[in-house]
A = this chain, B = another copy of it.
């Protein structure tokens, strides 16, 4: 990406091993993230450009001399942050704060929307999946890179369980994933706020019990009507813009939790007596440490218990990636799968 709206497909030097802990991975499938649309809207024009993509499944082609758990030919899922999986933060399940880790497409690391990629700290980062690269499960497995586990993180941080009512704000792929995650954690009442019927229909399939199409004050009022005036115990905010934050404050029940996984496009927000403090509202969330969750959720994807891959509704090859961004931005596509 060279700036807002400017996505190009280019030949770059081949990825290759640099550290003994690296693996070289051929990308089998990647995708475009809702968060990729933030720079697609606002990135200043740049001559250097930035590689893109932080979700991928691939096949190990080559491993550094210190890599011990992976072999050539392994099909692997890559979390959206790479990490050693051994430091104090990783052991606490906060791989996004790994002492030695980092993120794709920054600091000389490539992006996943590519043919191949160098994976640092490969033993810690990659998780093997026991399927072939032609498996029909690949789209659902790919959601373990980010989108489904980001929804899961929202629900886990909010402490969703059978006793909690839930509002999910946003009918994008993360919002729908959050619905599925909340349902999986036992929530019996899940209100999905979104106004794209094709998306909220998938939300209902994933477990939403109510859909609220209204936004702003009208949306808040509607959720309050649906909950006897109280709002819901948990609110999973899957958008990242200020109106979504304000809706979250409006619909959360006293003593409840707002859990954010949409990357905030604001720095300051209301947190004082009238918004959070007076009603003992907890604000939580952040980048999902998906590496902490993959092994737990993988079996349920493999046995077909959950099908989070249903969020993909378009597939492109590498040449089609710029149009994939356009289609997601225009809301023609919910989430675009990339098959290099």
Contact = CB atoms under 8 A, between A and B. Distances in A.
A297 interface: no
A267 B271 contact: yes
A278 interface: yes
B263 A267 contact: no
A264 B270 contact: no
Contacts of A266: 272
A94 B280 contact: yes
A241 to B, nearest CB: 12
Interface in A271-287: 271-287
Interface string A283-304: 1111101000000000000000
Given A280-B94, A280-B289, A282-B283, A89 B255 contact: yes
Given A271-B268, A273-B263, A254 B285 contact: no
A268 B246 CA distance: 12
A264 B284 CA distance: 18
Nearest to A97: B254
A186 to B, nearest CB: 18
B268 A277 contact: no
Contact of A277 (B254, B264, B271, B289): B264
A97 B280 contact: yes
Nearest to A98: B254
A157 interface: yes
A96 interface: yes
B276 A283 contact: yes
Nearest to A260: B277
A280 B271 contact: no
A71 B225 CA distance: 42
A103 to B, nearest CB: 11
B275 A286 contact: no
A317 interface: no
Interface of A: 89, 92, 94, 96-97, 157, 254-255, 260, 263-264, 266-287, 289
